[in-house]
Structure 1
Amino acid sequence: MIKEIYTTRATAKGGREGHVKSENGELDVDVRGPGSPGNYLNPEIMFAGGFAACFDNAIIGTLKIKKIKGATHETTVQVTIGEIEKNQYGFEITIEVAFAGLDMKTANEVVEYAHQMCPYSNATRGNVKVDLAVKELVN
């Protein structure tokens, strides 16, 4: 059991060609499958956004825990969906964190620590191929 911090809900109707709404109404969007024309959201975009925000927050927490000041960063999460076997689908994920004001050795240590902290990382660990990448933040 986990010690609950927060619980929320969202409801989908119509699958990948339908609609998703959160219980607080802030997420209230039509969704389309990958490759659909025009501007749209799909589950992979929402997953990538949630993972990126959560992982970036784990970076912030790690920097505080390790008492590292003056570093700036941004986190990008790439989500790829593909077929594992006939009619079985899965993800591959790349998490890229760009840092300024931090040497690459320390940056890699921060990312590894954050990867242990992030709930998305913990949810996917052992189930999804996740690659971590660190680079220099260029403004």
Structure 2
Amino acid sequence: MENVIFTSTATAKNGRDGHVQSDDGLINLALVNPANNKQARGSNPEQLFAAAYSACYDGALHLVASKEKKKIDSETTAAVSLLKDSEDNGFKIAVELTIKIKGVEQSEAEELAKKAHQVCPYSKATRGNIDVQLKPRAI
């Protein structure tokens, strides 16, 4: 790995029914598998991935818009679903990105959303591996 800008570190213990903590302690969460335990409070890998993906994608959207000299205000919501995988009888995830963009017309919002999906590091990492649906909306 060359040209590393920074590295973030987190450690999980005991999987989906355990605990996760970042090296700086900023993230320090109990993990709960909502499929098995709907009463307990805690986060889960899909929730953490949704938070990370939405932040990364929204940043990529602003980068693309600024390069095109468009001033926007945006909000990206990532819905990450855990699915049964019929191919190997295991599990997989799918993502739906709802992107609200203020300051452009609908056609421009759709174009910016597609371009952001090409440059977002999370989109690059998941391309061809998971189903990602973009739902841009000019507001």
Residue aligning to 1:73: 74
Q: 1:101-133, CA deviations, whole angstroms, 9 ceiling, x for partnerless residues?
A: 210111111111110111110010000011111
* Distance in 2 of aligned mates of 1:2 and 1:94: 31
Q: CA deviation at 1:39?
A: 3.3
Q: Is contact 2:32-2:40 (8 Å) kept? A: no
Structure 2: runs of 5 or more not aligned: none
Q: 1:28-48, CA deviations, whole angstroms, 9 ceiling, x for partnerless residues?
A: 111100243143211110000
Q: % of aligned pairs identical? A: 35
* Distance in 2 of aligned mates of 1:54 and 1:2: 21
Residue aligning to 2:30: 30
Q: Is contact 2:94-2:131 (8 Å) kept? A: yes
* Distance in 1 of aligned mates of 2:112 and 2:2: 24
SS at match of 1:26: coil
SS at match of 2:134: strand
> How many residue pairs are counted as aligned between the two chains?
136
Residue aligning to 2:105: 103
Residue aligning to 1:82: 83
Residue aligning to 2:19: 19
Q: Which ranges of 4 or more aligned residues in structure 1 deviate by more than 6 Å? A: none
* Distance in 1 of aligned mates of 2:66 and 2:101: 15
* Distance in 1 of aligned mates of 2:76 and 2:48: 15
**TM-score normalised per structure 2:** 0.91
* Distance in 1 of aligned mates of 2:3 and 2:135: 31
* Distance in 2 of aligned mates of 1:15 and 1:78: 21
* Distance in 1 of aligned mates of 2:91 and 2:132: 16
* Distance in 2 of aligned mates of 1:81 and 1:2: 33
Residue aligning to 1:6: 6
Pairwise mapping of residues 43-58 of structure 1 onto structure 2 (< 5 A)? 43-58=45-60
Structure 1: runs of 5 or more not aligned: none
- Matched AA of 2:61: I
Please report the RMSD computed on the Cα atoms of aligned residues, expressed in angstroms.
1.4
